[in-house]
Amino acid sequence: MLDELNQLKDDALEQLAHIWDDATLEEWRVKFLGRNGALAEAMTKNGTLSKEERPAAGKLANETKLALESAFQAKIGAMKQRALFESLESEPLDVTLPGRPVKRGRLHPATSNLRELYRHWGDMGFQVFRSREVESDETNFQLLNIPPHHPARDNWSTFYIADTNQRVLLRTHTSPGQIRAMRELGQNGTQPIRVILPGMCYRYEQVSARYDIQFNQLEGLAIGRNITFADLKGTLTEFAHRMYGDRPVRFYGDHFPFTEPSAQMDVGCIICDGAGCAICKYTGYLEILGSGMVHPQVLRNGGYDPNEWSGFAFGMGTERVAMLKHRIEDIRYFWGNDLRFLEQF
């Protein structure tokens, strides 16, 4: 029995070595490995052996089977390789064939929108300052005059990452970047600053056409020795004109814990041109941003002496800017990754 199996294996491998076409390979498989093939037949003889002989014969039969199966697989691979080489030799590559066109990509509308904003603010002397997206409770809230349990926290539904004393969270707005910019660029409160701080913010919101859990904001910060509310109004009005053309703007009293006084800026509705429509809720104006004079305590937290230095700040949601411009009705389109939307920009 053992000799028979060894002989079978030698025969099978010897025959396999000469096979180079699919039909003969299949015949070989049926002949040796098939259900009624030589190996199966040899294995049935196991039953006729004595008890002592059986284990060794069974073991060898299994080994033979594995050896033949792996030789069969190796042969398939070798045949594929050979076919490839033959086709490369007999059908030379035609390098004059035109290539397949590669679809041209483009910037995501949120990105091109941000870049337009950078351009306007860059022209007005503001530099981009990138701040982190993962923040501490201290910088996101406390240093901006929002202590624990302050009711203003309700406005910023927060994703907390770690529930420790030094709570870690996804920034709910770009305003904590004000503190970081003052500390990094201010050189202990001795240097003026003019920066914009763009980037992704996160809030634990009920997702709807108007609110998503992630969105970009663009923050602005100007610190200097004689900055007044007139600078805030003039600069923001100039921005609105650059961005939206020659439209009326108006400032409204507002409240933010980190600015005093605070103001909301509206521009004449770009959909109805001030006549009144559903988008501007028939007021003729659209809210564009929040702003204000940097609170003295926030200046101190950034390393500045509020008796010598002052500044203004503002923050806007930038997807909203793009939505108004392109009349996009649902903020969820931005991160839905649907090409039918993205290809329109």
Query: In sequence order, what are the beta bridge partners of 310?
Result: 224
For residues 64 and 113, which CB has a smaller minimum distance to ligand DAH in the complex? Answer: 113
The stretch near ligand DAH (CB under 6 A) out of 65-73, 272-280, 284-292, 325-333 is 284-292
One-letter amino acid at 77 equals G
Q: Give the tokens for residue 305.
A: 């002496």
Tell me how far, at minimum, the Cβ of 173 lies from ligand DAH, in Å: 3
Site string for ligand DAH, 201-240 (x = CB under 6 A): ------------------x---------------------
Number of residue whose CB is nearest ligand DAH = 315
One-letter amino acid at 209 equals A
For residues 121-180, which are near ligand DAH according to CB under 6 A?
A: 173, 175
3-state percent helix, strand, coil for the chain, nearest multiple of 5: 45, 20, 35
Q: Give the tokens for residue 190.
A: 């001795």
The reply to whether 318 sits near ligand DAH by the rule CB under 6 A is no
For residues 64 and 310, which CB has a smaller minimum distance to ligand DAH in the complex? Answer: 310
The reply to whether 301 sits near ligand DAH by the rule CB under 6 A is no
For residues 16 and 236, which CB has a smaller minimum distance to ligand DAH in the complex? Answer: 236
Q: 221 near 181, Cβ under 8 Å?
A: yes
For residues 43-82, which are near ligand DAH according to CB under 6 A?
A: none
Torsions phi, psi of 158, nearest 5? -110, 140
Residue 156: name the closest of 87, 9, 256, 54 by CA.
256
Q: From CA 245, how far away is CA 268, in angstroms rounded?
A: 10
The reply to whether 314 sits near ligand DAH by the rule CB under 6 A is yes
The stretch near ligand DAH (CB under 6 A) out of 71-79, 187-195, 274-282, 313-321 is 313-321
Cβ burial 178-216 (10 Å sphere, 16+ → b, else e): bbbbbbebbeebeeebbbbbbbebbbeeeeeeeebebbb
- Work out whether strand 168-170 and strand 214-224 pair parallel, antiparallel, or are unpaired: unpaired
Tell me how far, at minimum, the Cβ of 119 lies from ligand DAH, in Å: 20
Residues near ligand DAH, by CB under 6 A: 173, 175, 219, 256, 259, 262, 290-292, 313-315
